[in-house]
Chain A
Amino acid sequence: MVLSNSPITFWAGYAKFKSNIRPSSRVSPPPSGPLPSVPIAVGCRSLVFELQHTVQLRSSVPPMADASAQQSSRSRDLDKLLLRPGHLVGPAFEPGTELRDDLQEYARILVVGAGGLGCELLKDLALSGFRNLEVIDMDRIEVSNLNRQFLFRLEDVGKPKAEVAAKRVMERVSGVNIVPHFCRIEEKELEFYSEFSIIVLGLDSIEARSYINAVACGFLEYDNNDNPREETMKPMVDGGTEGFKGHARVILPGTTPCFECTIWLFPPQVKFPLCTLAETPRTAAHCIEYAHLIKWDEAHIGKTFDPDNPEHMQWVYSEAAKRAELFGIPGVTYTLTQGVVKNIIPAIASTNAIISAACALETLKIASGCSKTLSNYLTYNGVEGLHTKVTEFVRDKDCLVCGPGIFIELDTSVTLKMFIDQLEDHPKLLMSGASVSYRGKNLYLKAPPVLEEMTRSNLSIPLLNLMDKSPNGIVHVTGTAGKGDKRQSCSRKLRVSFKGVGGITDTDMAGGA
């Protein structure tokens, strides 16, 4: 590992973890009980135990034949995981130098976000032996980032985070190639995302997570028995932190719950009543939200507030400060203004380091199979003492984003109208009055009348034509389904396939339109 010979001591998270699992008698962990000096272990309790046992089991393995090659290898520590068999490894794990070399050559990892978590992730992944990394982030560096986004320096303020982060890690870790993308995640084509082996998320917004989740799940295909096709699965590793708390999760679309399956895990944002803001502000946050939601529109007719524009943020801050003074409320600062407006809880560097370490490790495990992966949601809470646990959530099998949907085979001559009628008799659906959409196009909308009129002419057109002659694809339907008293409105995903039309399978079998 680079770290052993490196003077950089602040990159301690991963390195320390590794050094503690090294099977030398000097640092061998006690046979049971917690590991005393493993700060990073807190992020991943189950893993620590796993590795602890792995270490013991592996200690009995005879020394490697090519010990000298191993000694000189920069990836000496990593080799201990990748070159030797073990009892707690993932299924089909094939240890050996080929595995290590393949990881370097063929694994392509995308890091989404180059902020507090993103900086850590890039560093951790580079040090974990991945050579082909890319990072995407639309933000520029601000002074207030410098306390924790450790790849950035004062002279970088104003530059794109992705570019500076990539450059800094490449300077420190030889052999790694990091391609930065300074843009919004929505600006990239689906093709861009399909190129990666694993997508690692270091984001602070639910909306961005939801978007990437939809994209990644969109690549998943199911076979005719509703089993996910492994080769189409795009794994995601999602990290998130809020102050002293954080989570790390592994999303294997079609196998573990996707972001949408468990969106209820994210508590809705606290919103203050507008009239409270306007009439009876009591807190600094009230003053900031007043300036942001009410005062801005009064002063800037027709100009939308952009939270990523520092001038806009400065304006809101100064208005909030004036209002706070008027009502004698303390505590309005620029940082708090950013926090309230963007709904950000102050980040803590150590929490980021812990969560990132867990995410990087999961990425390595998914790619190499050197250990079973986290199953599937780790929470970390460092508010009072320390609490961490892993919860195994289950998929929503009817999830519109990651679920298999209901398979329907059709004749090529079936019109949209005939298709809608067929849904009434389909035993798994019994859906009447269906509205139909395909890839973001509304083919037929039953209501309201204004939309029904706009889409009515499609009814007589063969569905195959409406689906751009695609031999199969995902169609979403909404209508009233079920039997008797249990009839209720619902949305369903359908995997439509046309008989006798061969060809390439659709690339968007799961994500839906």
Chain B
Amino acid sequence: MLIIFLSRQALYTTITMIRLFKVKEKQKEEAKNATGNGPFKKQSAGELRLHKDITELNLPKSCTISFPSGKDNLMTFEITIKPDEGYYMGGKFLFTFNVCGIYPHEAPKVKCKTKVYHPNIDLEGNVCLNILREDWKPVLNINTIVYGLYHLFTEPNHEDPLNHEAADVLRDNPKVFASKVRTAMAGGRVGDTFFTKCI
């Protein structure tokens, strides 16, 4: 652990806490709570940081964002990516983002909701992208992730396979891979798997 020595600061209160507790308890007995503020949602530090990320988004033209839970809940949102080049050109892929209260200490949870034939995305929508897991750092942001996802479509990578079969085909025969991707995006069958149309 990193240990830092720092100068002393004023730490000690001028009256003992117990005096305060006593005063407070007595006040409570006298006037049964006069606070007019009703309950409200507690904003987490993660939410405040996410605000900053969201208002600073600079998305590629091919990506759009939407907030199905409305303007006051930004912790879950959706990103739609329409690649304008590469194997997946013309397709439309939906990703859900779930951000937790200790963001950016922890990366958002990202899933691909569109079934896709892709070496780095499995049929359940799990995504193998380093910055979502092992390489996540608090200095990264939502924008970085969206660019990372976009990159997966322009440059699928057979070396980090989540869909083993797709990765093998991409490595051994890119032309066959391209045609399988087109079939899947058109709502056809690849191997035993049926895909839904996303083009």
Q: Given A90, A273, A507, which contacts B160 in the complex, CB threshold below 8 Å?
A: A273
167-192 of chain B: CB within 8 A of chain A: none
21-75 of chain B: CB within 8 A of chain A: 21-25, 33-37, 39-49, 51-52, 54-57, 59, 65-67, 70-72, 74
A255, closest chain B residue (CB): B11
Once the chains bind, are A99 and B18 in contact (CB under 8 Å)?
yes
A58 to chain B, nearest CB (A): 18
A276 to chain B, nearest CB (A): 8
A106 close to B (CB within 8 Å): yes
Name 8 A/B residue pairs within 8 A (Cβ), A-sorted: A206-B105, A211-B44, A268-B105, A268-B137, A270-B134, A279-B161, A440-B72, A478-B51
Residues of A within 8 A of B126 (CB): 274, 293-294, 297
Known contacts A274-B127, A366-B17; is-contact A448 B105 (Cβ 8 Å): no
A231 to B34, CA, bound (A): 16
A512 close to B (CB within 8 Å): yes
A506 close to B (CB within 8 Å): yes
B163, closest chain A residue (CB): A278
A206 to B10, CA, bound (A): 27
Known contacts A271-B133, A293-B126, A389-B3; is-contact A215 B42 (Cβ 8 Å): yes
A121 to B157, CA, bound (A): 52
Once the chains bind, are A512 and B34 in contact (CB under 8 Å)?
no
- Residue of A106, A445, A508 with most partner-chain B CB within 10 A: A106
Residues of B within 8 A of A189 (CB): 39
A107 close to B (CB within 8 Å): yes
A428 close to B (CB within 8 Å): no
Known contacts A274-B127, A400-B48; is-contact A392 B8 (Cβ 8 Å): yes
A214 close to B (CB within 8 Å): yes
Q: Given A91, A206, A274, which contacts B14 in the complex, CB threshold below 8 Å?
A: A91
Q: Given A198, A274, A435, A489, which contacts B17 in the complex, CB threshold below 8 Å?
A: A198
A256 close to B (CB within 8 Å): yes
Q: Which 4 A-B pairs have the closest CB atoms?
A: A440-B41, A369-B16, A271-B133, A275-B160
Once the chains bind, are B34 and A437 in contact (CB under 8 Å)?
no
A327 close to B (CB within 8 Å): no
Once the chains bind, are B39 and A92 in contact (CB under 8 Å)?
no
Q: Given A266, A366, A450, A454, which contacts B105 in the complex, CB threshold below 8 Å?
A: A266
B16, closest chain A residue (CB): A369
What residues make up the interface of B, taking CB atoms closer than 8 Å to A? 1-25, 33-37, 39-49, 51-52, 54-57, 59, 65-67, 70-72, 74, 100-102, 105-107, 120, 122-128, 130, 133-134, 136-138, 160-162, 164
A471 to B57, CA, bound (A): 33
Once the chains bind, are B15 and A230 in contact (CB under 8 Å)?
yes
Pick the interface stretch among A140-148, A328-336, A372-380. Answer: A372-380
Once the chains bind, are A297 and B4 in contact (CB under 8 Å)?
no
Q: Given A90, A448, A478, which contacts B57 in the complex, CB threshold below 8 Å?
A: A448
A445 to B54, CA, bound (A): 9
Residues of A within 8 A of B65 (CB): 448, 450
A103, closest chain B residue (CB): B18
Known contacts A275-B161, A440-B43, A470-B37; is-contact A491 B48 (Cβ 8 Å): yes
A214 to B63, CA, bound (A): 34
Once the chains bind, are B52 and A275 in contact (CB under 8 Å)?
no
Known contacts A230-B20, A273-B133, A366-B17; is-contact A263 B42 (Cβ 8 Å): no
A461 to chain B, nearest CB (A): 15
A306 close to B (CB within 8 Å): no
- Residue of B11, B22, B23, B162 with most partner-chain A CB within 10 A: B11
Once the chains bind, are A439 and B124 in contact (CB under 8 Å)?
no
A465 close to B (CB within 8 Å): no
Q: Given B101, B128, B138, which contacts A273 in the complex, CB threshold below 8 Å?
A: B128
A126 to chain B, nearest CB (A): 17
Once the chains bind, are A271 and B136 in contact (CB under 8 Å)?
yes
Once the chains bind, are A450 and B66 in contact (CB under 8 Å)?
yes
Residues of B within 8 A of A400 (CB): 45, 48
Residues of B within 8 A of A94 (CB): 16, 19
A392 to B11, CA, bound (A): 10
Residues of A within 8 A of B35 (CB): 504, 507
Once the chains bind, are A206 and B102 in contact (CB under 8 Å)?
yes
Given contacts A231-B20, A263-B102, 12 further A-B contacts (CB under 8 A): A197-B24, A230-B20, A268-B105, A271-B133, A274-B128, A279-B161, A367-B16, A439-B43, A440-B41, A445-B71, A489-B56, A504-B36
A434, closest chain B residue (CB): B55
Known contacts A190-B42, A273-B133, A274-B127; is-contact A508 B37 (Cβ 8 Å): yes
A155 close to B (CB within 8 Å): no
- Residue of B13, B41, B100 with most partner-chain A CB within 10 A: B13
A251 to B25, CA, bound (A): 22
B152 to chain A, nearest CB (A): 12
Q: Given B47, B67, B125, B134, which contacts A272 in the complex, CB threshold below 8 Å?
A: B134
Q: Given B6, B13, B20, B125, which contacts A392 in the complex, CB threshold below 8 Å?
A: B6
Residues of A within 8 A of B25 (CB): 105-106, 108
Known contacts A206-B105, A210-B45, A210-B101; is-contact A447 B18 (Cβ 8 Å): no
A355 close to B (CB within 8 Å): no
